[in-house]
């Protein structure tokens, strides 16, 4: 087969959608050397170096270099035809307009429909653009990949996408989280980043939906009896300021380290997450109390890192955490307090969670992800 991808995010996005794109493309190229893969990229960057002989790049040429956005959303169809592409895969919620008339089969990955459930958390113009692109892709693609059962249900609810058209293909996380660091490496990382000996860890954007404030409220209640601080990796805006105001009022400033705001966050090994496995493995637990997610990749990163996870019992998070996580009502401060105390102090519980976590995480490897996606491709030809 000759399969093309929308590779904009692979070359230009350093986080979620970019990581998803890069890992899937590499896993497919490695696992299926008999097939040819084409990266349709508005521009190439140093962020992605595929390194496989069966991966090729398609970029706009001539005058189309000046209209890269239009090329990606429409004009790329001519290049796909020129390269005799069999299947086009939109890796980030959209496909070129009119591709259904070209004879080229299309697949789109829909990561989440959070903006449909929580439109007030997005600018109105962004919600309108997302709704148009996502709905168009879900309607006109030959197959829709949902990254969780929750996203599948959302597609059926909000866009009336037929169930038979949707395939759930669970993603994987970067294999660097699987490798266990030795104590010296973890200790050195703590020194570099000014981390305490023990700490809870939060990873994710500091936005209302991800619910950092509930953790802070639990820390206020635990101030005297469980003096374990919190390390936060992630940036934010208005909601972050709200959280900081609460922290100041409760005199918790010395108990919460916003790592992404420190000078060390400028290190290349922080920006590309190379140091994250050691940061995860040095923690007491990951706390991820999001109210709604498409998948929740930090949970999987933590499970691979042998780190207990406290997370929400809502949305797709039980899918990601399986039987390994400690689930709570994410808006319940008493639930959060109880979970933090138990996971921090019960060694038997921690050991059980770590062991179950490794077993569950093994279901989410790059090879398994690639195999599930390849099955979708094969169903179209």
Question: Which band of pLDDT confidence, cut at 50, 70 and 90, is reported for residue 61?
Answer: confident
Architecture of domain 175-361: 3-Layer(aba) Sandwich (3.40)
Tell me the C-alpha distance between 324 and 306, whole Å. 11
Quick one: which of 97, 102, 83, 64 has its CA closest to 4? 83
Other Cβ atoms closer than 10 A to 312: 27
Mean pLDDT across the stretch 348-366?
A: 96
Packing angle of the helix pair 366-378, 16-31 (nearest 10 deg)? 80
Mean pLDDT across the stretch 183-196?
A: 96
* pLDDT at residue 66 in the model: 80
* pLDDT at residue 63 in the model: 75
Mean pLDDT across the stretch 71-98?
A: 95
* pLDDT at residue 272 in the model: 85
259-307 tens-digit pLDDT: 999 999 999 999 889 999 999 999 999 999 999 999 999 999 999 999 9
Q: By CB neighbour count within 10 A (0-12 exposed, 13-18 middle, 19+ buried), where does 375 fall?
A: exposed
Tell me the C-alpha distance between 140 and 367, whole Å. 28
- 166 pLDDT more than 90: yes
Mean pLDDT across the stretch 132-154?
A: 97
* pLDDT at residue 315 in the model: 92
Q: Hey, do 2-172+366-378 and 175-361 end up sharing a CATH topology, with the first three levels equal?
A: yes
* pLDDT at residue 16 in the model: 83
The rounded mean pLDDT for the chain is 95
* pLDDT at residue 15 in the model: 79
Quick one: which of 327, 381, 27, 12 has its CA closest to 169? 27
113-142 tens-digit pLDDT: 999 998 988 889 999 999 999 999 999 999
- Predicted structure pTM score: 0.92
Tell me the C-alpha distance between 143 and 169, whole Å. 12
Mean pLDDT across the stretch 68-90?
A: 94
Compute CA 157 distance to the chain's CA centroid, rounded to the nearest angstrom: 23
* pLDDT at residue 309 in the model: 98
Domain boundaries, the chain: 2-172+366-378, 175-361
| Residue 89 · residue 6 · CB < 8 Å | yes
* pLDDT at residue 181 in the model: 95
Q: Would you state the torsion angle of the CA atoms of residues 161, 21, 206, 237, taken in this order, to the nearest 10 degrees?
A: -100
* pLDDT at residue 355 in the model: 97
- 13 pLDDT more than 90: no
> What percent of the chain has a predicted confidence (pLDDT) above 90?
89
- 26 pLDDT more than 90: yes
Architecture of domain 2-172+366-378: 3-Layer(aba) Sandwich (3.40)
- 211 pLDDT more than 90: yes
Quick one: which of 180, 5, 10 has its CA closest to 76? 5
* pLDDT at residue 379 in the model: 97
Tell me the C-alpha distance between 186 and 193, whole Å. 11
| Residue 326 · residue 320 · CB < 8 Å | no
Q: By CB neighbour count within 10 A (0-12 exposed, 13-18 middle, 19+ buried), where does 160 fall?
A: exposed
């Amino acid at each position: 087969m000759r399969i093309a991808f929308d590779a904009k995010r692979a070359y230009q996005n350093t986080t979620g959608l970019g990581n998803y794109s890069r890992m899937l493309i590499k896993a497919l190229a490695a696992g299926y050397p008999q097939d040819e893969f084409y990266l349709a990229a508005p521009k190439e960057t140093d962020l992605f170096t595929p390194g496989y002989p069966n991966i090729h790049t398609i970029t706009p040429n001539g005058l189309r270099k000046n209209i890269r956005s239009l090329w990606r959303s429409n004009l790329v169809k001519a290049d796909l035809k020129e390269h005799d592409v069999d299947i086009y895969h939109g890796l980030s919620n959209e496909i070129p307009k009119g591709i259904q008339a070209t004879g080229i089969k299309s697949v789109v990955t829909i990561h989440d429909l959070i903006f449909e459930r929580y439109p007030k958390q997005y600018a109105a113009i962004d919600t309108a653009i997302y709704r148009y692109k996502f709905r168009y892709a879900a309607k006109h693609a030959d197959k829709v990949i949902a990254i969780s059962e929750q996203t599948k249900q959302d597609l059926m609810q909000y866009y009336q996408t037929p169930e038979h058209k949707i395939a759930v293909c669970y993603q994987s996380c970067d294999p660097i989280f699987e490798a266990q660091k030795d104590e010296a490496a973890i200790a050195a990382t703590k020194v570099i980043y000014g981390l305490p000996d023990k700490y809870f860890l939060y990873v994710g954007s500091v936005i209302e939906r991800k619910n950092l404030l509930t953790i802070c409220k639990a820390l206020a209640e635990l101030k005297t009896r469980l003096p374990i601080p919190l390390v936060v990796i992630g940036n934010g805006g208005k909601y972050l300021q709200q959280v900081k105001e609460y922290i100041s009022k409760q005199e918790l400033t010395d108990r919460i380290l916003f790592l992404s705001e420190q000078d060390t966050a400028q290190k290349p090994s922080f920006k590309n997450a190379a140091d994250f496995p050691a940061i995860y493995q040095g923690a007491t637990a990951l706390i991820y109390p999001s109210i709604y997610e498409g998948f929740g990749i930090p949970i999987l990163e933590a499970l691979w890192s042998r780190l207990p996870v406290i997370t929400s019992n809502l949305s797709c998070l039980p899918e990601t955490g399986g039987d390994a996580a400690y689930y709570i009502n994410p808006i319940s401060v008493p639930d959060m307090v109880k979970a933090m105390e138990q996971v921090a102090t019960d060694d038997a519980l921690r050991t059980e969670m770590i062991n179950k976590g490794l077993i569950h995480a093994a279901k989410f490897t790059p090879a398994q992800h690639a195999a599930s996606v390849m099955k979708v491709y094969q169903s179209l030809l």
